[in-house]
Structure 1
Amino acid sequence: MAACGDGDEGASSGPVEVEYWAWAPQETVEPVVNKFNESHTDIKIKYVKQADNATAYTGLRNAIAAGQGVPCLVQGAANAEIPSLLGEGLVTDITEYVKPYVDKGLFTAAAPKSAQVQGKYYGIPGGATPTFMMVNRKVYDQHGVAVPKTWDEVITAGKALKPHGVQVMNLAGEDPSTLVNLVVQAGGTWYTIDGDAWKVDFLTPESLKSADVLQQLVDNGLVANQTYQDRPALIAYFDEGKMVSLPTSTWQLRNYELNYKKSIGNWQPVDLPQFADAPQFATPNHGMAMPVPKGCRHLKEATDVGVWMATHKDAIDATFDKATGAYAFPGSVPDPSPWVESVVPQKLFGDKRAEAAPVILKAVRAGVDNWQVGPNYTGVFTELQDQWAQAVTKRITFRQLLENMQRYTVDDLKAKGISVVGS
């Protein structure tokens, strides 16, 4: 049978072919695809390697406009979330096929939000890797500073470390994810849906208290601004012991293990700091859905494939990397414990390695996703990056950042002819 979006849906003696576009390294995708194809006779995955996410979504837009060559599944991307794609008319409603899987409890509690708009599903729910913190415990102990458990204590620790030439955290000038993660952790969002309109509010209590934490860190000179664009220099800086608190996730640990020379074994995995008034322990867990494009002719089969790749034990097992001994972290499933030990490096945490799995699993259980992305978030994020760069370098305050983003987002939605509540 022709690939999704090509040819016609006439009778076929062969299996349904679901075309999947992905840009992740081929050696990580092919084993999963091969495992599915070996174990299924009625559906087969046709994997089409993409150069990168931008190329994939440009190709998707072109295919949908042409009405041919449309895939049935595309790897999720941070700049192509479901509300934005729906606003462009690029995804289709697959609620009737996805909801039974969600109702069976195959996904984490946070994951379904990533694929929804107003309760309808337009993609396969995607979980996130858990967020926790790693600290250079040797440096903390050397200066007699307690490891922080709240964001207020992060500020206190930063003030105690500063006289020793040590920064408590790093805020890269091009990466506003720290602000976004704080807002999510606090239980906030910038977009909500109000009837037939989008409501925009960057000045919620959750946003303001997140901005206050960042403002204190910056105003007191407690953070570095090392860029992620020069990764070797960044890793070398972390390794020096001059920056000692690093919010992180499982996918980053192997890189630190391979590249740290001076501080290997000095790091400790700890819980992500919390807001002092938090009603319960929470970590940000905004996932990335796998879109099902408009024009896919086999919606049920595409859903079956996507859910299998996200949640099935065979799919997770197929991600095993012999070189590292690790599985890709299964962020979509409620209980990733069978695979957690593999993602913890052998030397990074020294004699505190045994603490990593409990910290990671606690972060998984505490994952929250109240984050709603609006239909213009791709452009909004680009503007946010610019505002963030100004805020971390003290050219504007973080409150001004939020005020500027409020005006920009509302004006942009209005310019696009999208109904919006907010000013």
Structure 2
Amino acid sequence: MRKFKRASTSRVTVGTAVVSLALLATTGCSSSDAAGDAAQAKSVSMEFWGWAPGYDKITAQWNAAHPDIKVTFKQIPSGAKGGYDQMTNALTAGKAPCLAQVTYNDIPSMLVKNALMDITSYASGDTGKYLDWTVAASSAGGKVYGIPVDTGPMALFYRTDLFKKFGISKPPATWEEYAADAAKVQAADPSVAFGTAPQDAYDMAGLTWQTGTSWFGTKGDSWQVSIDNPGTRKVATFWQGLKDKKQVMNNGNAWDPNFDKASEAGKVMTFVNAAWAVPGVKGDLKDLSGKWAVAPMPTWAAGDLTSSNSGGSATSVLTGCKTPKEAERFAAFLSGNPDAVSTGISVGGLYPASKAGLDNPLLSQGDPYFGGQKIYEVFKQSAAHIPTTWVVGPTFGQVEADYSDAIGTGTYAQATTTVQQKTVDKIKSLGLSVTGG
């Protein structure tokens, strides 16, 4: 899934240091040559690799409406679970697809690998249709490297039946209330976990983003790495406390089989995640229909509405694609066609990056699985209160791998310190200018 708003106030930036990335990344064929090849062809066939639920159905919708431009969808593991390795291996072998799903976090690192094609000349007429920050996150050095698909506004998923059982009248509005509720549940039944502990960089990034700090920044042509910052340390201290007291699950997170098993047994009450988690709950935990609800993400101060974002992807054209014009057309269809957007929402839980898509009727309907709750109203509020401070760095794949390893062997604070240094070292190894804070 990850691992899989008007949000005009939120922004993810790729930073001015992407000029350095642009110098490292050059496309394998010129846009004019590729366009000429496409113009001479009577029909076009392309392959699209991705992992989001519903992409196969959207591809079928495209093919039905565009018989001369056939797209074949191939399901691959999510990028962090091997999907990006498959892409880069295919590029090396000269067998890469034309199109691929790439998360905003990973666009800079894919540029370093020379994996993405500049599609500015084809996409320039489409970029205004998407939220500004998603366009910025899909671009580098003033060039477009992907068409935004979705965002990941975060919220608290919670079990209404278990809240009633333990006498908790409402979902926690603050992290202080969250900790108090966790202590109350543990006192009543130590076998029940109130939530799930962060497991990797995606979890830590989403929680840190809410604090208004960022793991990366830029100064001139240099990257600045500040993973070990006050916001991350606040998150680390909070969750380490809950983890040490055994008030949260430490051996699974959505959608780990351990989480599913614990949920089915009534042994876990909440988890924090993004809008795209909705199909996972509904698909993996069918028997719990009517027992889950969605509330705003707890905040660090009473009365605050600050939320966060986790995930979100673009559709990129990979280096060497011979039909980039047609590839961009498909990408724009996937993100902006009303029927495609509806499929993305209903099947994949994709919260649209398309401005028009935010008015999709499905986002204002009650969901029977969640007791009829209009859950996307919660995500809409979340999306409108995401800090503008987050900067996407050039090595998120490395950050993810190192954080996962470090969390498994030490405390969150120790993991953060370790990943800080490893990230600085990794960026230096790429020949890019970097400072440690």
Q: TM-score category by the smaller chain? A: 0.7 to 0.9
Residues 278/301 of structure 1: CA separation in 2 closer, same or farther (3 Å cut): farther
Residue of structure 1 aligned with 2:219, choices 194, 199, 210 = 194
Q: How do residues 323-362 of structure 1 correspond to structure 2 at under 5 angstroms?
A: 328-334=349-355, 335-340=358-363, 345-346=367-368, 348-350=369-371, 353-362=372-381
Residue of structure 2 aligned with 1:73, choices 99, 102, 105 = 99
Q: Please, what TM-score do these two structures have when normalized by structure 1?
A: 0.80
Other structure's SS at 1:354 match:
coil
Other structure's SS at 1:187 match:
coil
Distance in 1 (CA, whole Å) between partners of 2:225 and 2:178 is: 30
Distance in 2 (CA, whole Å) between partners of 1:326 and 1:53 is: 17
Query: Does 1 or 2 have the higher relative contact order (CA < 8 Å, sep 6+)?
Result: 2
The answer to whether 1:168 aligns with 2:194 is yes
Residue of structure 2 aligned with 1:17, choices 17, 40, 44 = 44
| Map of 1:408 onto structure 2 | 422
Question: Can you give the 5+ residue segments of structure 1 that lack an aligned partner in the other structure?
Answer: none
| Map of 1:35 onto structure 2 | 61
The answer to whether 1:363 aligns with 2:388 is no
Distance in 1 (CA, whole Å) between partners of 2:364 and 2:139 is: 32
CA contact (8 A) 2:279 2:348 kept: no
Name the aligned partner's letter for residue 399 of structure 2.
V
| Map of 1:268 onto structure 2 | 293
The answer to whether 1:185 aligns with 2:210 is yes
1:23 positional shift: 4.2
Distance in 2 (CA, whole Å) between partners of 1:261 and 1:124 is: 33
1:109 positional shift: 4.1
Distance in 1 (CA, whole Å) between partners of 2:258 and 2:243 is: 22
Residues 7/356 of structure 1: CA separation in 2 closer, same or farther (3 Å cut): closer
Other structure's SS at 1:112 match:
helix
Farther-moved stretch of structure 1 (257-266 vs 222-231): 257-266
Residues 209/88 of structure 1: CA separation in 2 closer, same or farther (3 Å cut): same
Residues 157/85 of structure 1: CA separation in 2 closer, same or farther (3 Å cut): same
Residues 279/288 of structure 1: CA separation in 2 closer, same or farther (3 Å cut): same
1:384 positional shift: 0.6
Other structure's SS at 2:272 match:
strand
| Map of 1:121 onto structure 2 | 144
Distance in 1 (CA, whole Å) between partners of 2:152 and 2:254 is: 22
1:88 positional shift: 1.3
Q: Among the aligned pairs, what percent are the same residue?
A: 23
Distance in 2 (CA, whole Å) between partners of 1:40 and 1:264 is: 38
Distance in 2 (CA, whole Å) between partners of 1:299 and 1:129 is: 27
| Map of 1:212 onto structure 2 | 237
1:181 positional shift: 0.7
Distance in 2 (CA, whole Å) between partners of 1:305 and 1:4 is: 20
Residues 71/213 of structure 1: CA separation in 2 closer, same or farther (3 Å cut): same
CA contact (8 A) 1:35 1:318 kept: no
Other structure's SS at 2:217 match:
strand
Distance in 2 (CA, whole Å) between partners of 1:202 and 1:303 is: 34
Other structure's SS at 1:289 match:
strand
Q: How many residues align?
A: 401
Residues 336/206 of structure 1: CA separation in 2 closer, same or farther (3 Å cut): farther
Other structure's SS at 1:81 match:
helix
Question: Can you give the 5+ residue segments of structure 2 that lack an aligned partner in the other structure?
Answer: 1-28
1:306 positional shift: 0.9
| Map of 2:153 onto structure 1 | 130
| Map of 1:421 onto structure 2 | 435
CA contact (8 A) 1:317 1:327 kept: no
Name the aligned partner's letter for residue 95 of structure 1.
T
Residue of structure 2 aligned with 1:154, choices 163, 168, 178 = 178
| Map of 2:340 onto structure 1 | 315
CA RMSD, Structure 1 to Structure 2 (Å):
3.6
Distance in 1 (CA, whole Å) between partners of 2:172 and 2:38 is: 63
CA contact (8 A) 2:367 2:375 kept: no
The answer to whether 1:305 aligns with 2:324 is no
Distance in 2 (CA, whole Å) between partners of 1:236 and 1:339 is: 30
Other structure's SS at 1:273 match:
coil
